[in-house]
């Protein structure tokens, strides 16, 4: 994904900051950034007071909207009570309560939780935990991982090695571990053969996975890694029915673990607290983040199943891993309060109801558009993939920066909406999509406005592009 400079139509009255004049090592050193001074409800508020509706919650992070006083107070109280905990010696009540809450939310399917500060850290921990599990049960030959093409599991070197997002990997390939191979993603829009049923498609992909186990040596594989709903890399692509059951069977057949990355699609975003609940299976290790703390603190984590935890308990009883800020009290306080609010306000029901409305409105407005190839997702996690030619699903050239231009146009005063860009959905380089993932407590009126505004944004962008 490549950012381009904000267009001048953002508005002369907006306070902006040029990265060239900044002391910040920004993501892009030749871009101009809008100065956001505060946020409240669903709105991001710029320095001049102009409001932008946050229809993506940042990167699918904001699940309660912004300015929630309960969460802010919980964090404040914890910072005043105990702002830091050196977990080599101590624990805190808030960490214990959060982890207990997360384990209980799986109805006993998972055994313990491990709290870190980002999804990438969570995936690093998951990979290391999978490897250590096999050391604990005396299978040290297991050092390989299998993941999927067009996947994204984090930006640190270990997480990047497990992922299959080519653009993000490209510059760092010489540094990445070579013990990962990849199979096809479950992407019905681009992967299903003409006339192929979902059942047959799932079987074909399971067969491909089984053959990959056989090719690399099934006794050497630690785990298969996948997102139940692929977020940034594919744009909210859910698996077809039966796929994850078939995948679980392949992993069990070969004695490997199943790691599910729910950093983006989990903690309620897809309509159930854990996305795997909709698949009829349970992972051995699960990563979580983003909606876990709703953006009020940097917080993420992993959940480990009983099989994994029992191996450690019967073995060394030591997870050889650790971070200075793991189990950070303020992060735990934010996450615990966010999860309590999600339950008390029955927000998962709203996610499902408003998600149905959002998907139907987007399809009504955009399904027939000549440059909209697919609209897909679950809950309040929806992606729109764009195509240059609808007949053969050909993508736009990556140099056109279609997804970024649409998102930047959305930030202008004419639209005032924030949606999330993504690229590489076809082959890791080409393919454009945007993600729409508003807060869990979004109203019907908000959803109607989001859909209408996105419809207008997409239509007017491609009309202008055709004229250019």
**Helix, strand, coil content of the chain in percent (nearest 5):** 40, 20, 40
Q: How far apart are alpha carbons 363 and 451 in whole angstroms?
A: 9
Q: How far apart are alpha carbons 449 and 427 in whole angstroms?
A: 33
Report the first-to-last Cα separation within the chain, whole angstroms: 23
Run of H or E including 99: helix 93-104
3-state secondary structure of 115: strand
Beta carbons within 10 angstroms of residue 388's beta carbon? 17
What stretches in the chain show pLDDT beneath 50?
1-13
Query: What pLDDT does 12 receive?
Result: 41
Beta carbons within 10 angstroms of residue 392's beta carbon? 7
Q: How far apart are alpha carbons 396 and 96 in whole angstroms?
A: 49
Using alpha carbons, select from 257, 277, 259 the residue that is nearest to residue 267. 277
pTM, whole model, 2 decimals? Answer: 0.95
Q: How far apart are alpha carbons 34 and 303 in whole angstroms?
A: 37
3-state secondary structure of 450: helix
Query: What pLDDT does 15 receive?
Result: 62
Query: What pLDDT does 1 receive?
Result: 34
Q: How far apart are alpha carbons 450 and 371 in whole angstroms?
A: 19
Using alpha carbons, select from 35, 31, 33 the residue that is nearest to residue 5. 31
């Amino acid at each position: 994904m490549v950012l381009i400079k904000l267009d001048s139509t953002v508005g002369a009255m907006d306070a902006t900051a040029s990265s060239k004049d900044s002391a910040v090592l920004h993501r892009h050193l030749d871009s101009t950034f809008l100065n956001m001074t505060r946020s409240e409800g669903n709105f991001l508020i710029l320095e001049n007071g102009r409001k932008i509706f946050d229809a993506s919650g940042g990167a699918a992070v904001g699940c309660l909207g912004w300015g929630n006083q309960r969460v802010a107070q919980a964090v404040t109280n914890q910072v005043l009570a105990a702002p830091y905990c050196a977990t080599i010696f101590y624990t805190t009540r808030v960490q214990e309560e959060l982890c207990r809450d997360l384990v209980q939310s799986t109805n006993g399917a998972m055994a313990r939780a491990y709290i870190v500060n980002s999804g990438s850290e969570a995936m690093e921990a998951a990979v290391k935990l999978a490897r250590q599990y096999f050391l604990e049960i005396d299978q040290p030959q297991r050092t390989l991982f299998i993941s999927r093409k067009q996947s994204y599991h984090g930006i640190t070197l270990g997480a990047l090695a497990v992922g299959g997002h080519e653009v993000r990997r490209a510059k760092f390939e010489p540094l990445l571990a070579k013990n990962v191979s990849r199979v096809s993603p479950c992407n019905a829009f681009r992967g299903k053969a003409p006339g192929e049923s979902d059942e047959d498609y799932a079987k074909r992909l399971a067969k491909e996975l089984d053959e990959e186990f056989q090719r690399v040596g099934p006794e050497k594989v630690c785990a298969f890694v996948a997102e139940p709903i692929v977020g940034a890399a594919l744009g909210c692509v859910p698996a077809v029915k039966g796929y994850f059951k078939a995948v679980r069977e392949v992993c069990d057949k070969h004695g490997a673990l199943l790691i599910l990355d729910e950093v983006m699609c989990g903690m309620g975003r897809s309509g159930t607290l854990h996305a795997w609940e909709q698949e009829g299976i349970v992972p051995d290790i699960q990563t979580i983040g983003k909606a876990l703390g709703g953006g009020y603190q940097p917080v993420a984590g992993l959940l480990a199943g009983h099989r994994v935890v029992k191996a450690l308990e019967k073995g060394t009883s030591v997870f050889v891993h650790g971070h200075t800020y793991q189990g950070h009290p303020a992060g735990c306080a934010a996450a615990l309060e966010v999860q309590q609010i999600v339950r008390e306000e029955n927000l998962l029901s709203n996610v499902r109801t408003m998600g149905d409305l959002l998907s139907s409105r987007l399809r009504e407005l955009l399904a027939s558009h000549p440059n909209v190839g697919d609209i897909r997702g679950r809950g309040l996690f929806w992606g729109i993939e764009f195509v240059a030619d609808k007949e053969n699903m050909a993508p736009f050239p990556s140099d056109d920066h279609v997804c970024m231009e649409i998102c930047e146009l959305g930030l202008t005063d004419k639209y005032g909406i924030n949606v999330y860009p993504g690229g590489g959905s076809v082959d890791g380089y080409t393919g454009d999509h945007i993600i729409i993932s508003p807060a869990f407590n979004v109203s019907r009126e908000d959803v109607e406005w989001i859909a209408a505004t996105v419809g207008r944004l997409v239509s007017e962008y491609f009309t202008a592009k055709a004229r250019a």
